[in-house]
């Protein structure tokens, strides 16, 4: 299994965990013990990093999808009685996603012998 395939599996799993954490009742949401804003930034950053590594030839689409996921998940919280959508939460999620995708793009660009083109 190559790095891109592993990154792809991790990215989709992380996105699933983010969706579960965002939409589940507060008492079922996993907690790392740090600030929730750091958790949000880190979760979206790591997910963006994995998606950028998995799909380096589509980095702009990855960025757009991560930003759309942040917006969509934050908006769906308005449908839950015990959850709330806040602009600061959205901003932190979008910043994490942008940093993660940017770091992934940079990592793939600088990786020795790597090109951003897909190797099937």
What are the sequence ranges of the domains in the chain? Answer: 1-9+17-75+100-112
Contact 7, 50 (CB under 8 A): yes
Mean pLDDT across the chain, nearest whole number? Answer: 88
80: pLDDT confidence band, cut at 50, 70 and 90?
confident
Cβ atoms < 10 Å from Cβ of 120: 4
> pLDDT value at position 27?
72
**The pLDDT value given to residue 1:** 65
pTM above 0.75?
yes
Mean pLDDT of the region 40-49:
96
- Report whether 109 contacts 116 (CB < 8 A): yes
Q: What is the pLDDT of residue 84?
A: 77
Q: Which residues of 74-105 are buried (b: 16+ CB within 10 A; e: fewer)?
A: beebeeeeebebeeebbebbbbbbbbbbbbbb
pLDDT in tens, 97-120: 999 999 999 999 998 766 555 444
86 vs 104, residue with greater confidence: 104
Beta carbons of 71 and 90 less than 8 angstroms apart: yes
Q: Which of 52, 43, 64, 37 is nearest to 111 (CA)?
A: 52
Are 4 and 54 contacting, i.e. CB atoms less than 8 angstroms apart?
yes
């Amino acid at each position: 299994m190559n790095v891109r395939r592993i990154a792809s599996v991790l990215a989709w799993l992380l996105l699933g965990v983010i969706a579960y954490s965002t939409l589940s009742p507060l008492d079922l949401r996993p907690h790392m013990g740090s600030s929730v804003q750091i958790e949000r930034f880190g979760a979206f950053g790591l997910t963006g990093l994995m998606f950028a590594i998995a799909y380096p030839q589509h980095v702009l689409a990855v960025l757009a999808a991560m930003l759309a996921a942040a917006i969509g998940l934050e908006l769906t919280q308005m449908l839950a009685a015990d959850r709330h959508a806040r602009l600061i939460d959205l901003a932190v999620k979008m910043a994490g996603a942008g940093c993660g995708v940017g770091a992934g793009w940079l990592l793939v660009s600088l990786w020795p012998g790597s090109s951003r083109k897909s190797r099937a």
